[in-house]
Structure 1
Amino acid sequence: MRPLTRAEEDIMHLLWQRENARVAELIVDMPEPKPAYNTVSTIIRILEDKGFVGHEKAGRGFKYFALVDKSTYQKASMKKMVNSYYEGSFKNMVSFFVKEKNMSAKDLESILKDIDKTED
């Protein structure tokens, strides 16, 4: 799966929320300062080229929709990050967050409880 830029990810998040939208509808959902219509349209075309977005005719324009679901993208992104920064080890990643004080013992206990639930 090809990586996305921050701007591309922002648009994908909007499409995952809406399921489908015209460019103008996406712009309405974007924070201020709103990007230009042509900017969003260009990013949508790039996402289409990357295989993340499809479109369908809607009146005189198009409605766009995600071809890659959020869960699939999350899994691929996390795998890439763990492989790139933590030598492919989720243990190393968690250890990093604990050392940086971004995760407490209470957080770890909660994660272990969640793991126990999924193993049942």
Structure 2
Amino acid sequence: MEIRSLTRAEEEVMLILWQLGKGFVKDVLAEMPEPKPAYNTVSTIIRILEKKGFIGYTAYGKTHEYYPLISEADYKRFEMQQLLENYFDNSLTKLVSFFVKDHDLTTQDLDEIIKLMQNQKPD
């Protein structure tokens, strides 16, 4: 299955489903911040996510309980790869350089990044 980028509204629903593990439209709606969208709006977004292959459901008569088919970790990986490809020429160095220049990383932040990288480096 090919992962595609989500709209902001779709991503908001997925974040809730990932947190809940599974749920009905009313459960997703209950977790949304105020002002809450209409029930039908959330239901439509869920049906779109189902068509995109992001969620599945178990039917209980006319009611459906929805659950993620794609993990949050897989989606994060996909989005980070898109970010690297589209904005940083597939270069982690350019990505880190961007954060160093534009986000005032401290020496402590950089030390933590280096430690993380050293712990992940294959022997």
TM-score, normalised relative to structure 2? 0.92
2:4 is matched with 2
CA–CA separation in structure 2 for the residues paired with 1:22 and 1:101: 40
CA–CA separation in structure 2 for the residues paired with 1:113 and 1:3: 31
Measured after TM superposition, the shift of residue 103 of structure 1 is 2.3
CA–CA separation in structure 2 for the residues paired with 1:49 and 1:87: 31
Q: Secondary structure at the match of 2:26?
A: helix
Identity %: 44
1:77 is matched with 79
Unaligned runs of 5+ in 2: none
Output the aligned Cα RMSD: 1.3
Unaligned runs of 5+ in 1: none
1:57 is matched with 59
CA–CA separation in structure 1 for the residues paired with 2:103 and 2:39: 41
Q: Secondary structure at the match of 1:34?
A: coil
CA–CA separation in structure 2 for the residues paired with 1:71 and 1:104: 27
Q: Secondary structure at the match of 2:90?
A: coil
AA of the residue aligned to 1:58: Y
How many correspondences in the alignment? 120
